[in-house]
Structure 1
Amino acid sequence: MSSDHLLNPDQSQGRSPAERILLALKLHGPQTAPSLGKRLSISGEAARQQLVRLAEDALVNSWSEARGVGRPSQYWGLTASGHAEFPDTHAELTVQLLRTIRQTLGEDAVDRIIAAREEETRTGYRAALDGAGSLKERVETLVRLRTAEGYMAGFEEVADGAFLFVENHCPICAAAASCQGFCRAEINVFRDILGLDVTVERSEHILAGARRCAYVITPAPIAGAA
């Protein structure tokens, strides 16, 4: 049985009910009002009232969806404006700087900047992972690092000793959209710091339209194993 490690620690303390609902939808995707109420320890009706108010502000929308037998259920999810409530760190300035560098110094200069950032990140992560022995310990440490940087990271254990590592938010999304070298550098770092005994493959990508980025981290087969 897979073990869910709260794809992110609870960050709802001190937030208003509306903010808690937005955060729950960001972290866990579309849900019904009753399921949101259960998750947030409020009634389903209280959750629905908050969702209606958020819909009036165009932060969420709803639709009917049939899952299994019975009547269709009403699901709620974030709109583009709702996602924008979770900021892209210095988005406009970053994109402007990338554009200026590209125009004045050329694409090669952008590549060198990304490579330098990649190496700096790799060095810092390796130092943080020093002493993390098992793959689970390494993944847990990576979750803490990425969450501290604003990625709302988390993980869950899946079949055959593998892990699903997720980032529910991308604080550099605008920069990554402008130059996808950032995404390439990111997965390179994950592969390097998690070790030669694992493979890392991206399974969901925000820039491809997914609500989050997700990576499957799989232990490499043991040589000589049947």
Structure 2
Amino acid sequence: MNSAHKTTQQASSKQAILVYLRKSGQANAQTLAEYLQISPQAIRRHLKDLEAEGLIAHLPQQNGLGRPQHVYQLSPLGEEQFPASYDDFALGLLNTLAETVGSEQMGSILQHQWQRKAQEYQSQLGSGSLRERVERLVELRQSEGYMAEYHPYCGELADPSATKPPEQYILIEHNCAIAQIAQTFPSVCGYELEMFAAALPDCQVERINWQVNGEHQCGYLIAKPSSKSV
């Protein structure tokens, strides 16, 4: 293996570590080694380099009576490596608007923005199956920096008059592209929930995780009501 290829491979492994920690929150060296399918010695070298660069930090975690095990997580600098669609000017503009027009009008402005976004999403999602539309929604959110993914969800048959459980999916966003704005104006997250519901008008959308509340990711349950029994 030449030096250039080795350097590229190391950079790829380090990026994979950062992505894994962004998705999972924390992990130890053994878990990361198994995930990347490389030796524990190699993973420790990568972790040492990433920590030296200030991208990750470790915490001691006690397991039984043995020595504490290091658990790694992203540092604030590491968090900044992921896409964000906000900037200081946008946040400053929103703050100026809030001071100028008042909180009530500010809420109306933000709601109108999300309504426009919902219309854009709905037109781009089309009229295919729910799975196709959720898949397309994930692609759109990924392009905007949200690190989104989805999984089918098999819930219980909550409605006894239904012939089968509703078709359901979990939409997860590991990275919030407007995190700084959401921290300052948490109401935008409420409008975001409304936006998903408007973009999928034949579905029920429920928030199940919320980064603003200190959780590691934002999550939504998307359900298409099932048919009723006759």
TM category (shorter chain) comes to 0.7 to 0.9
Please tell me whether residue 181 in structure 1 is matched to residue 187 in structure 2. Answer: yes
Q: Secondary structure at the match of 2:188?
A: helix
Q: Which of 152, 157, 164 is matched with 2:147 structurally? A: 152
Quick check: 143-152 or 71-80, which moved more? 71-80
Superposed counterparts of 1:125-144, under 5 Å:
125-133=121-129, 135-144=130-139
The alignment yields a C-alpha RMSD, in angstroms, of 2.9
State whether residues 62 and 75 of structure 1, in contact with CA within 8 Å, keep that contact through their aligned partners in structure 2.
yes
The higher relative CO (CA closer than 8 Å, separation ≥ 6) is in 1
- For structure 2, the 5+ residue unaligned runs are 1-8, 156-166
Is the 2:21–2:73 Cα contact (8 Å) retained in structure 1? yes
Change (3 A) 1:163 1:64: farther
Structure 1 residues 57 and 95: alpha-carbon distance in aligned structure 2, compared to 1, 3 A threshold: same
Q: Give the residue type in structure 2 aligned to 1:184.
A: G
Contact preservation (8 Å) 1:35, 1:44: no
Aligned equivalents of 1:14 and 1:125: distance in 2? 38
Residue aligned with 1:35, SS? helix
> TM-score, length-normalised on structure 2?
0.79
Percent of pairs with identical residues: 29
- Give structure 1 stretches of 5+ with no counterpart: 1-12
* SS at structure 2 position matched to 1:164: strand
Q: In the alignment, is the contact (CA less than 8 A) between 1:202 and 1:216 conserved in 2? A: yes
- Structure 2 CA distance for aligned equivalents of residues 127 and 100 of structure 1: 32
Displacement over 6 Å in runs of 4+: none
Contact 2:10 2:46 survives alignment (8 Å): no
The 10-residue stretch of structure 1 (58-67 or 22-31) with the greater mean CA deviation from structure 2:
58-67
- Larger Cα-atom Rg: 2
Match of 2:206 in 1: 201
Distance 1:14 1:141, change over 3 A: farther
Tell me which residue corresponds to 2:49: 53
